Amino acid sequence: MRLLLWGVIIFAIVMLVLHVKKAAIQRRDRGQENPQSPVEAAETMIRCAQCGMHIPASEAVLVQSDLAFCSEEHRLKHFSD
């Protein structure tokens, strides 16, 4: 009876160790399958001379090197005032 008890204890320990190792391997593999997506570079933001809203430089309506607008409408409004 004593031998059977020791056998069950050893079996339980072996199963626990195998389970922990399997879980660690799955966690490691899960991290490798989903690499982080590359982060896009931040774009320079420019302030509209008419309303003050900040917009990406690629979307700005540029007039001079120091004037930028969020839309053609604001460019026209700025120069008509």
- Ordered by start, the domain boundaries in the chain are 1-34, 45-80
Q: What is the pLDDT of residues 1-59, one digit of tens each?
A: 899 999 999 999 999 999 999 999 888 887 765 566 677 788 999 999 999 999 999 99
Burial 28-65 (b: 16+ CB within 10 A, else e): eeeeeeeeeeeeeeeeeebebbbeeeebeeeebbeeee
Quote the pTM value: 0.49
Q: Is 70 exposed, middle or buried (0-12, 13-18, 19+ CB in 10 A)?
A: buried
